[in-house]
Chains A and B, each alone.
Chain A
Amino acid sequence: MAISPVNPGSVPLLSPHIDGGVELGKVAPFDEQRDTEPSAFEKLFASTVASTNERLQTADAAAKDFASGKTDDIHGTMIAVTEADIQLRLLGTMKNKVVEAFYELWRMQI
């Protein structure tokens, strides 16, 4: 059987930084077609996603500036990265809670 080469164009890029795949800092808007208001939790979650994105971008810029020698502020860079790390872990924990709650309902016996 002939082996065909993998076409690089057919493989979706996972990195959000390359080729304008998913753009950092852009949070998907709420579905305007639906008839229910977004819940308070949904709003909170969306705003956390947005602020996490912002912090990740700040950390990214700080790391780039430090790596390229634009700044020599070692602790400023590390603090920006640490803030992004904490915020991202908070978001991850919130996500886990939501998924956990979903499965709790999924397993419910009716």
Chain B
Amino acid sequence: MSNTLGAFSAMDIAASGLSAERVRMNTIASNLANAKTTRTAEGGAFRRMDPIFRAEALDESATGNMSGISKVSVGRIVRDPRQGMLVHDPQHPDANAQGYVEYPNIDVVEEMVNMITASRAYEAGVSSIESIKGMASAAIKIGG
């Protein structure tokens, strides 16, 4: 959509938010699925992933007040640097020389909270699309 003031711009913006929240949901699902993974391709325990969102101008050519209106996109997905939990278990195949196994730095409760946030954010995006549709339908009824 080239025109910043286009009737469907708000829908495009909301759609970008929905896509971003879907990416967040994917990383949360991955974090939860790998909450106890001790072996990865890079070596070591799985590390928690977090998507970093960034604003993306809706229309590069827009000026003034309109230039701030932005879509959202996922800039990159970063690994959480926090240390994972060390559990003493010398029998474990992934135990280190001291007999400790490093588990992922994932707190399942924290992930559940993030999941609810992502789910609610998605619902909010859908609500805004519904509102935009309602406004357009109301406008069509003018003079009818």
Contact = CB atoms under 8 A, between A and B. Distances in A.
Given A75-B15, A79-B15, A89 B129 contact: no
Interface string B103-140: 00000000000000000000000100100010011001
A76 interface: yes
B136 A79 contact: no
A75 B18 contact: yes
Contact of A82 (B133, B140, B144): B133
Contacts of A79: 11, 14-15, 129
A9 to B, nearest CB: 40
A44 interface: no
- From DSSP, what is the main secondary structure of chain B's interface residues? helix
Interface string B1-42: 000000110010011001100000000000000000000000
Q: How large is the interface on A (under 10, 10 to 19, 20 to 34, 35 or more residues)?
A: 10 to 19
A90 B140 contact: yes
Contacts, number: 30
Nearest to A90: B140
Most buried by A among B133, B137, B140, B144: B140
Nearest to A94: B140
Interface of B: 7-8, 11, 14-15, 18-19, 126, 129, 133, 136-137, 140, 143-144
A60 interface: no
A82 B137 contact: no
B11 A89 contact: no
Most buried by A among B11, B14, B143: B11
Given A75-B126, A86-B136, A93-B144, 5 more contacts: A75-B129, A82-B11, A82-B133, A83-B11, A90-B136
A6 B131 CA distance: 50
Contacts of A73: 19
B144 A86 contact: no
Contacts of B144: 93, 96
Contacts of A90: 136, 140
Contacts of B18: 75
Contacts of A82: 11, 129, 133
A93 B142 CA distance: 10
